[in-house]
Structure 1
């Protein structure tokens, strides 16, 4: 008997084998004592981090730095990321942009992004390169970028407007006037794969192109959870608002952090009749269509070949996105 499809792999940015070691964030003396042997992830002002590069391919590990090169103790602004059997990991955020050769690489939906090559390293973005990094690196880079983006939005107190200071090595924002504390925010967003109601897993999937996306780009539908709203209700509302389709059988698949700037993507699947007319949200959705399983499989096959996408070709979400994991799992399932 055919079973409802499930995610076939862990989403790229959900992978991590680093202990976040929350108890150490308030143990200043212990962290300072361990600092000289710690390792540091550096992130530049464009949100990139270096990975080893031999001129042809990158290493799956991050190019971390020895903490001692930054001083005898953690410098101001250093962020504690966690610990492994090898020791502690920190992040230094918003370092100067590396200087070197600029390479143009395929990014989201095949659009070109720039990476810097310097000193045997390539500075890469999480969105484009997150799936190529090992489990430890994926967790460290994702956490560092999430904290960096939160710090940029936590400069003033929401209660009194006073200037806030980051404490507990990156994990608390404390108001300098009223001493009110805030903690890193994560905004829940639902991302839902809608397939038709033929059989268990359907024969077609509903994909859309956002108004600002390149031609050929398609993905599943997504939106932020509103106050007082359940996740399932959000999935139904967003799909109705964006493409005018009523869905049922909303079920959970998995999740992935998405620090652009501070989301957690909550993956769901749902069913809908293809007989319903598509009504696109003006200014938000440029196109929406039903695609067969064979069309999606062919798009995956094209994407696995190197080179620029052919004009008009169906472009699927990048490898770092949970949307791609969801689509691949559906494409491999039986109807």
Structure 2
């Protein structure tokens, strides 16, 4: 393959760099792949020729900026999605810059494109009654309902990301006391999360009903293949709609699998768990991410407000007016 061709560099980036040298997860590779498919198709349309005819030197910083603008204005992607696609593009040009000096200026121009700052909304979370209403909805008499109930309980118990939970194999679970599960998060970092006895019992019952090979995912679809994140989101949406009849407040909330992670984090903060413990539990790289849960919990804020000295609150008389002896002394002057 011609070293100067775009195909050569893309093949080396995806197969040699991401897959072999960096050992990135399949989900990272697929995310980068999708971003590059959209980018190459966009550039090909602007140049009025097929993707196969594009050259590396045509993928300029101006083309990247135009693609990002198109993603936001035409495809209506969020700022977060826009930044993820930029990260995939910059990763490729960083790879090329280290290996092709003649493209250094082009790569530097792309790498100088900044990520875009956007609003940081407080994470949505559920209260105890809402969680209970959702967990009551799966029909546990059916294999599918039993699977969904166990999955939702695992998400709530561990605060796992949806793909972390879907990747759990029987080999990752310890059902005897102390029950625990090993999760693999971003960057393939492993962490151990304890399980409530109730959650361990649900997983044990699921395995007894639907035995799984030791190193294959526990949660499967109706065809016996691994349950996808899209499938889990679809089923959760059904349960949330049904649970809204018992808990009307759910109608005002946008509930997705990650909401259970936010819920677990907020409830731990409210229970007084140290943020460093929560960071390790959730696999956060930075405490700033964990502190997001503290900012979200209005009850924690209310309790903190109650600790403020009442004498300093608006409407309270100043300290010197509450001391009659001091007032008498001042009047005698």
Q: Which of the five TM-score ranges fits, normalised by the shorter chain?
A: under 0.3
The TM-score, its normalising length taken from structure 1, stands at 0.24
Larger Rg: 2
Structure (1/2) with the larger strand percentage: 1
The TM-score, its normalising length taken from structure 2, stands at 0.24
**Quick one: higher RCO (CA 8 Å, sep 6+), 1 or 2?**
1
